[in-house]
Structure 1
Amino acid sequence: MAGNKFWGGDSSSSDSDSDSDSEEEEKPVAAAAAPRKMARWAEASSSEDEGVAQRRVVRSHTDKKNEQMLEGIKVMKNHMKIDDYASTITDYESLLRMLEKLRLQMEQDGGPPKAFIKAIGSLEDYVEKQHEEIQEKKQKGIKLPDNKNKAFNTLRAKVKKGNKPFADDLAQLHADPDAFQSDEEPEASDSASEASAEGERSSSSDSSSSSSSSDSSSSDSDSDSDSSSDTGSASSDSDSDSFDSSGKSDTSDGDGDEDLVRERKMLRWLITPEKLAERERKAELAKAKEAENKAKEKEKRDRKKEKGEDGRSTATGRERKGKDEPEEYTSKELTNKVTEITQQRGRKAFDRKAYMDKLQKLLVHAAKHGPLEQLYIYASMVSADFDNTGSAFAAMKIEMWNEALTKVNKMLPLLVESHNNIKNGTADEKSAEQNTDVEDPKSHTRLQELYLAYVEKLDDELYKALQFNSDVYGSEYHEILANSSKCLVLLNRTLRFYETVGQPQPLGEVASRLMEQLYYKPDSLNARVYEAVPHTMSDEKKEDWIWPDDSKAYMGKLCHYVWATGDQRLRRRACLCQAYHLALHDCFQPARDLLHLGNFQEQAAESDVHTQILYNRVIAQIGLSAFRLGKITEAHNCLMDVCQYNKGRELLAQGLSYAKNMERSAEQEKAERQRQLPYHMHINLEVLESAQHICAMLLEVPNMAMQAIDPSNKRIISKVLRRALETYDKQQYTGPPETAKDSVVAAAKDLQRGDWAKACAQLEGLQLWHHIDTNHPENGEKVKAMITEKMKVEALRTYLFSYASIYDAFHLDQLVEMFNLDGRQVHSTISKMMIKEEITAFWDESSKYVLVQHVEPTPLQRLAITLAERAVQAVENNERLVDLKTGGFAFKDAGRSQPGLNTDSGKGGKGRMGKGFDMKADQKGAKGKGRGKGSSFGGQPVRRAGGWENARAGALRGGTGQRGWSTGIRA
């Protein structure tokens, strides 16, 4: 035949059909030995090189996956027979993965393969049976090895979880096992099919040879026309097509028949019924898509004609698609549909609006199945809203925040309904089982945790929006701040729900969030917010929105909820919030006691940065509370910790403080910006600094006046004020004060002269009096009047310290008139000074005159004392230099009196060490060797009970010893 030459046959082969069988058997051998010609047309198969003709068996992708699944089931059953739990886990997981690849077939068949259902059913029965046997063995004292016991527990948990989606199919299996036998036939007959494989291939080759002989002419013509176009595809498809698993074929039909060989080679281009069905399906899909596109174009044109718009909306198209959806969903189908829709999140070209519309339509079906299905859909919608939260420094848009808030508000009634169903026992058995499984995405516990997470996320995003808004006076900031009342409503409703449920952990977390919203606001502001909220509510809910009269007790109740959680960080923050709220409402003593009893000073150092900032805010607010109450010393101690070194802005997280020698990296600056507080939570720094300077003035000015007559008093209360006064004295020209600090310094200079009226006038224009009391702004005048009285008293004390050495007596009425004070107050002030031994005076019998005892040192004695102190300092410096060179450090000479003696007798004789030796004081103590009265205490003077009499006597009697100076005044 001419065709045989074209298809790669040898030109010497015979064309007649009357050749003998022996000739037919010899020709393939000769053809295999001879060099092949035109191999690119037909002789590309490796099986032909071996002289074996292999029949191609065409199988679909689904058939391959089914065979793999059956093989996996067989392997799993073998592992179950030998109780290999670890391998059974692997087999079970691989079966579930295979089932995912058969999703298209499952949708067509209406469920998973019956062989799979039967396999997992048998595995479940096997696991339960093994569990019972293991329990019986445990009762007898026989235990499995640890690794095997762990593997079995893992297998049991995975089977229990993995079989839940197929609960309905497993119920049918237990009800009618015979209905699940059809899919097992291939597995049972694997050996039979392998045994008869050769017979089937031989019979199929016979039938194909008969059919090919009748159509040889047509096939030749087809191959001639298509050979040029299909050569490349044939070579590429030959590797991907699946052939028969056996590498041998029955060649008894006549290996020398060239027609049969050619037909076998052409089978790779054979069009099977499966391929025809696939082509028809693709063609139908293409036609349907084309018709849908035409309908869309027509719809757009119609909308343009009717509305004159560009046709962006696709509502009609969505309605048309909705008609294809089923009218009713089962619970399982609804869950699968929601899961399928949620998997679109994060993909390219994700349309959020279409996503929300799809889930919104499913809510109608979910309402028929109970609250859990609706909660599951709402949770999916809120999760998509939070996808647009932005970065760490970019907050969620307020429009998106409001949309998420609306959905979360709708979740709460459904959560209450689900809880009531569980509590009353009205939930069905399946739902009750779901509620107890935390890992089930539709369980009540899981959805409740998601709801709480959404509430916290909304609170965090609102805080971030306020935190990173730079225009604090703009309308945008005010709009965001107005939404804080909505967040407050959500937190209150959530708190009441968890109070009803009685779950301490989530209740404490919500109470902590609520305290963070309320602690820095005065009662007047909170009361107004609570009055404005109920206008949008029903009458029965308005009772819940009444701000309590005793807000401190309410904050204590919330703190008690937080304390029950056991979280140390939440506990600390709750107590600090409570202390801040107490101090804000002038409860200074309870706030200070709360800090001291809780030892928060040490705990704050071990806490995170945000808790340390809250602690600094509490200290600042306690200082302001003490200032409002007239506790000047306590207020100065608190405010000095915050305002010292000009770091109040940084310590309170109200801005970044920039110094000349301070350099920050980009990471440090980002971290500091991330911990900044929103503007509406700031404490007025000018108020803090003004209050601190006024307290320093009231304490330091009398102290400086007392040090003028008592040089041994080295106490410094406020270095900042002293430096400011020194700078003020060095100025050649002093203009009117410009800042609050300048006003206080000017008032301090007037107070030093005893001119209290002018000092009060200097403080008249401060903004402090308008902002000192945020709860009751009208109390600013009361605070100013109180500070004026304090200034009068301190002016009296300063006057007595400065001029007591000049006068022999003071008349009470004269002092009352000079300082515009009440007589009883003047009497009380002077009496306190006498008791503290600040002045040496006493009242006469009528208590109208203050009789002054002139025991103060004279000017000459003061100069002598000053000279003695400087001489002691010089000797000390010289001896330190000698000790530094010799290495003695004041302990080399044992016969010398050691420095730093702390004894009342002061008899530090030669060769003896006095009592009360102080190692720390040794570094600063004087080097006195004399026998004068008095004692040395670290170079710092300490006032003794003898007052100025002992000091003066010690100075007069003190003399020079063997080495150095003796200073009895250093008591």
Structure 2
Amino acid sequence: MSRFFRKADDSDSDSESSSEEELMSSDDEAPKAAASTTKPAMSRFLRSAGDDSDSESESESESEEESMSEDEEKGKKKSRFLRTEDSDEESDEDEGKRVVKSARDKRLEEMEASGKQMDNALKINDWVAISNEFDKLVRMVQRQQNLAEPVPPFYLRQLQTLESSLNAALAKEKEAKKKMNASNARALTAMKQKVKKVMKEYEIDLKKFQEDPEAFEREFNASVSTEVPAAKPKKKKAVDEEDEGDEEFKTVGKGGKSYQFTPETILKNLQAVQEARGKKNTDRAEQIRILEKLLEVAVTSYQQIRVLLALISARFDYNSSVSSYMPIELWTSAQKEVDQLVGILVRNPKYAIQETTEDYDELVERSPETEKDAIVLVRGSIISFVDRLDDEFTKSLQHIDPHGTEYVDRLKDEKSLYCTICRAQTLYEQTKQDDPLGRVIMRRLEHIYSKPDAVVQALESAVSASDIKPSITFSQSSTKQLIHSLCIHLYKSGNSLLRTRAMLSHIYHYALHNDFHTARDMLLMSHLQESVHSADVATQILYNRTVVQVGLSAFRVGLIRESQQILQDIFATQRVKELLAQGVHQRYQVLTPEQEKAERQRQLPFHMHINTELLEAAFLVSSMLVEIPLLASIENEEQKRKTISKSFRRLLDFADRQVFTGPPESTRDHIMQASRALQDGEWEKCRDLVQGIKIWSLMPEAASVKEMLTKRIQEEGLRTYLFTYAPHYSTLSLSLLSRTFSLPLRGVTSIVSKMIWNEELSASLDHATGVLVFHRVEVMRSHQLAQVLADKLNTMVEQNEKALDQKLGNAANWNDRGDGQKGDKRGEQTQERRRGGERRGGVRGGARGGRGARFAQGLGSQMPGAQRNRG
């Protein structure tokens, strides 16, 4: 039975049994031994007020303490958890004997424990356990280095042991007939790379350790012994110093340096802190504490500016790891200090911060009155602080689970960050610095271009409540005016990258608000599709997001064909998540750790993602409404090769090959079964299946979108019916078609007339009787072959044009279009070439000829109706 469930009777019985065993050995000493064994057992769990005298007598008698057995010592250790007020004297004695270990000693003990585990695993050749313990050991050493502590000799000795063991294991593995299992072999290979990398990192320390291990250990022990008293001074010394009557407060830092915090010594202490910045053994946390105390005693504006610049930089330098994000507490403190610094500069316009200033004596305090030009320049950069705050905020969102409450709590900090960006914009508007002003406006635009109006209004309300406001503020009418004003300012900037990103953000905002035609025209007139492949990765991601949002905008307003052809560009690559920076594509080739880290750093936060399932639903439904009538209009096997959406045709063929079709579960199942129903003329079943897709609820104005889809399904169902059953009719009543597809008679007449005009249907309308009269036209074999040959030639011309455009685009530079002239000229040449191609190779009304400028040249498809829109 466990001792925690033992009753008083059990303890007594145990003690009595032990006393009976001792009676067998000695009759005279038995009563004393029994008494000495029972009383501590009683005092462990059932100590009462009557046992005080016994406990006091035991604590005072030194002879009984010396004769205590190991069992009694364990009992006293256990009694600490159940100690009462009656055992105060015993607790005082325990505190006197207790050994207090520092954090450094605890870390060293943990390292040694990991080393022992590795040694035990080496004996049994368990490289999986060795790899896990080695990773743990490396993390502890890195943590120790972040605290500016030297590398322990034990770690270097362990590295040497691992290297020799690795070489022996690899040599033995090559010669062994029976190979080790796959997991152990992979761990062995991974350990070889890890140890090689770590030994290269500590190459200097290893060289010193190999030359003289004893001297290295003595140096390590000396550094440990000198740092411990300075870190934790004893209470007696502090009391003695107070009794001596020191008037000024001094702080003893690492290495015995003393800091005196007075307004007169601020600049001197600040210079000492800055000289220690970046050195290997610098304690970053101690530097931050010193700078915080310097900020408290700063009096003048110049002192506050200098200390704040150093303090913000120290907070950003605290976390040197690139993979992890800045702690939220440090980020919040840095954001408040940036706000404080901007407020000081706005209220004191005679002080200016610039990245490049003339050299001056940093120990001499400057004031506007002592300067000739009445402007004091301080070396620093507010825009770099703002960029770092924004980047660390994004990095933290990348590492936090988006489905937890921590992510939502972190998103609340965006309002304060947005206010800081707007305050920095006000500062640069006051100082009239164009380049930093453009950068900070771009940061502000990136926070609002993709958000709904309600979120933008919430962010702008916080700015309006601030004491420092920029000149470009929010208008109560809509957010379009705010986005337009910010983009117009960036269009005038001399930085071509800012102009490009501003244009893409502006187009994205128009598409988000269902203004498809404006967004499409701006994208075509910018000619970005011709040179975006030369831009940086972040700009290419923004371009892909903009194109996708334009396609969704076309879908929402009912332009199904345009939406299908725009979205086909990105779905043809089968790398949708990677191109939108919402996931890493699983390639066949293995990425290096650096490449994989760079890929993950480009990922957008979860709240900025475009729902890929909704995007796929819009693309597949659009493809269904375009492809199904095309399939019904095919007359022979040669024309079956003509496809608009290969991905949709592949999914449809796979669905047709299935023997058994169950009820739809996913979005693809709904759309594939709806396509079959549309082919069979069951438009009502097709409507129910499409509207049954649950993902439509995530689309804005879902009710109007479903209503639009119902109308388009009716129209395309009518066209599919006419293509399918035209050979079986001589005449067909328009009123019957109207009742069958629940369309108005005028709408049926319009659809049929358009099909006749486009030569898709060989028929004529008899308005007197309201009948559609079909004509039998026998197409000769030579005519069919000529038609197929014309289609192939048209496809070849389009492929040649695409290859030529890619060649011209690769030859052009990204900055060639700084004034817009070269891009416009190239666009005019392409336009003229395609006009000539349409005049030469127009087939069946020219609908399948050259379609104009493309959205995404790198993705390899073409923009629908671009030539008509430009013309």
Which bin holds the TM-score, normalised by the shorter protein? 0.5 to 0.7
The residue that corresponds to 2:827 in the other structure is: none
Q: 1:298 aligns with which of 236, 250, 257?
A: 236
Q: 1:461 aligns with which of 392, 405, 411?
A: 392
Over aligned residue pairs, what C-alpha RMSD do you find? 4.2
SS of the residue aligned with 2:564? Answer: helix
Q: CA deviation at 1:827?
A: 1.4
CA gap 1:586/1:735 in 2 versus in 1, 3 angstroms:
same
Q: CA deviation at 1:489?
A: 0.9
SS of the residue aligned with 1:392? Answer: coil
Matched, 1:569 2:500: no
The residue that corresponds to 1:511 in the other structure is: 441
SS of the residue aligned with 1:657? Answer: coil
CA gap 1:943/1:805 in 2 versus in 1, 3 angstroms:
farther
Q: CA deviation at 1:540?
A: 9.3
Q: CA deviation at 1:347?
A: 4.6
CA gap 1:712/1:334 in 2 versus in 1, 3 angstroms:
closer
The residue that corresponds to 1:413 in the other structure is: 343
The residue that corresponds to 1:723 in the other structure is: 650
Q: How many Å separate the matches in 2 of 1:412 and 1:768? A: 45
SS of the residue aligned with 1:851? Answer: strand
Matched, 1:390 2:320: yes
SS of the residue aligned with 1:805? Answer: helix
The residue that corresponds to 1:620 in the other structure is: 548
The residue that corresponds to 1:768 in the other structure is: 695
Q: How many Å separate the matches in 2 of 1:610 and 1:324? A: 46
The residue that corresponds to 2:757 in the other structure is: 835
SS of the residue aligned with 2:451? Answer: coil
The residue that corresponds to 2:517 in the other structure is: 589
Q: Is the 8 A contact 1:588 1:625 kept in 2?
A: yes
Q: Is the 8 A contact 2:731 2:773 kept in 1?
A: yes
SS of the residue aligned with 2:773? Answer: strand
Counterpart of 1:376, as a letter, is: R
CA gap 1:358/1:653 in 2 versus in 1, 3 angstroms:
closer
Q: How many Å separate the matches in 1 of 2:398 and 2:621? A: 32
Q: CA deviation at 1:555?
A: 1.3
Runs of 5+ unmatched residues, structure 2? 1-226, 242-247, 354-365, 801-836, 848-871
The residue that corresponds to 2:745 in the other structure is: 823
Q: How many Å separate the matches in 2 of 1:918 and 1:698? A: 27
Q: CA deviation at 1:681?
A: 1.0
Q: CA deviation at 1:642?
A: 1.4
Q: Is the 8 A contact 1:296 1:317 kept in 2?
A: no
Q: Is the 8 A contact 2:453 2:479 kept in 1?
A: yes
Matched, 1:738 2:665: yes
SS of the residue aligned with 1:743? Answer: helix
Q: Is the 8 A contact 1:721 1:745 kept in 2?
A: no
Counterpart of 1:680, as a letter, is: H
Q: Is the 8 A contact 2:764 2:772 kept in 1?
A: yes
Q: How many Å separate the matches in 2 of 1:402 and 1:820? A: 61
Q: Which has the higher contact order (CA 8 A, sep 6+)?
A: 2
The residue that corresponds to 1:478 in the other structure is: 408
The residue that corresponds to 2:731 in the other structure is: 809
CA gap 1:738/1:377 in 2 versus in 1, 3 angstroms:
same
Q: 1:780 aligns with which of 702, 717, 729?
A: 702
The residue that corresponds to 1:487 in the other structure is: 417
Q: How many Å separate the matches in 2 of 1:478 and 1:745? A: 37
Q: How many Å separate the matches in 1 of 2:428 and 2:408? A: 31
Q: 1:854 aligns with which of 757, 765, 776?
A: 776
Taking the TM superposition and a 5 Å limit, the aligned residue runs for 1:231-630 are 297-298=235-236, 318=251, 325=260, 329=264, 334-347=266-279, 350-352=282-284, 354-363=286-295, 366-368=298-300, 371-420=301-350, 428-432=368-372, 435=375, 443-444=377-378, 446-447=379-380, 450-469=381-400, 471-531=401-461, 537=465, 548-630=476-558
The residue that corresponds to 1:215 in the other structure is: none
The residue that corresponds to 1:634 in the other structure is: 562
- C-alpha offsets along residues 69-125 of structure 1, whole Å, 9 cap, x if unaligned? xxxxxxxxxxxxxxxxxxxxxxxxxxxxxxxxxxxxxxxxxxxxxxxxxxxxxxxxx
Q: Is the 8 A contact 1:702 1:798 kept in 2?
A: yes
Q: CA deviation at 1:497?
A: 2.7
Q: Is the 8 A contact 2:339 2:423 kept in 1?
A: no
Q: Is the 8 A contact 1:636 1:696 kept in 2?
A: yes
Q: How many Å separate the matches in 1 of 2:798 and 2:516? A: 39
Counterpart of 2:269, as a letter, is: K
Q: Is the 8 A contact 1:752 1:798 kept in 2?
A: yes
Q: How many Å separate the matches in 2 of 1:681 and 1:946? A: 41
SS of the residue aligned with 2:702? Answer: helix
The residue that corresponds to 1:703 in the other structure is: 630
SS of the residue aligned with 1:646? Answer: coil
CA gap 1:902/1:577 in 2 versus in 1, 3 angstroms:
closer
CA gap 1:711/1:293 in 2 versus in 1, 3 angstroms:
closer
Q: How many Å separate the matches in 1 of 2:660 and 2:232? A: 90
Q: How many Å separate the matches in 1 of 2:791 and 2:518? A: 42
Q: How many Å separate the matches in 1 of 2:640 and 2:751? A: 21
Q: Is the 8 A contact 1:740 1:766 kept in 2?
A: yes
- C-alpha offsets along residues 708-742 of structure 1, whole Å, 9 cap, x if unaligned? 37965853111222222222222221112222112
SS of the residue aligned with 2:324? Answer: coil
Q: CA deviation at 1:753?
A: 1.2
Counterpart of 1:474, as a letter, is: G
Q: CA deviation at 1:596?
A: 1.2
Q: How many Å separate the matches in 2 of 1:610 and 1:435? A: 38
Q: How many Å separate the matches in 1 of 2:571 and 2:433? A: 43
Q: CA deviation at 1:542?
A: 12
Select the structure of larger CA radius of gyration: 1
Q: CA deviation at 1:664?
A: 2.9
Q: Is the 8 A contact 1:555 1:578 kept in 2?
A: yes
Q: How many residues align?
A: 561
CA gap 1:664/1:295 in 2 versus in 1, 3 angstroms:
closer
- C-alpha offsets along residues 476-495 of structure 1, whole Å, 9 cap, x if unaligned? 32222221111111111222
The residue that corresponds to 1:158 in the other structure is: none
Q: Is the 8 A contact 2:382 2:424 kept in 1?
A: no
- C-alpha offsets along residues 863-882 of structure 1, whole Å, 9 cap, x if unaligned? x679x869x99xxxxxxxxx
Q: CA deviation at 1:376?
A: 0.9
The residue that corresponds to 1:651 in the other structure is: 579
TM-score, normalised with respect to structure 1: 0.53
TM-score, normalised with respect to structure 2: 0.58
The residue that corresponds to 1:176 in the other structure is: none
CA gap 1:428/1:697 in 2 versus in 1, 3 angstroms:
closer
Matched, 1:677 2:609: no
Q: How many Å separate the matches in 1 of 2:609 and 2:442? A: 20
Q: CA deviation at 1:365?
A: 5.5
Q: CA deviation at 1:380?
A: 0.7
Counterpart of 1:355, as a letter, is: Q
Counterpart of 2:448, as a letter, is: L
Q: Which moved more, 1:607-616 or 1:427-436?
A: 427-436
Q: Is the 8 A contact 2:263 2:299 kept in 1?
A: no
Q: CA deviation at 1:567?
A: 1.4
CA gap 1:538/1:580 in 2 versus in 1, 3 angstroms:
closer
Q: How many Å separate the matches in 2 of 1:641 and 1:734? A: 30
Q: Is the 8 A contact 2:261 2:293 kept in 1?
A: no
CA gap 1:357/1:433 in 2 versus in 1, 3 angstroms:
farther
CA gap 1:725/1:496 in 2 versus in 1, 3 angstroms:
same
Q: How many Å separate the matches in 1 of 2:642 and 2:461? A: 53
- C-alpha offsets along residues 497-544 of structure 1, whole Å, 9 cap, x if unaligned? 32333332221110111111111111122223444676xx56997999
Q: How many Å separate the matches in 2 of 1:918 and 1:635? A: 24
Q: CA deviation at 1:463?
A: 1.1
Runs of 5+ unmatched residues, structure 1? 1-288, 304-314, 437-442, 774-778, 874-898, 904-916, 922-936, 948-971
- Percent identity between the two aligned chains: 34
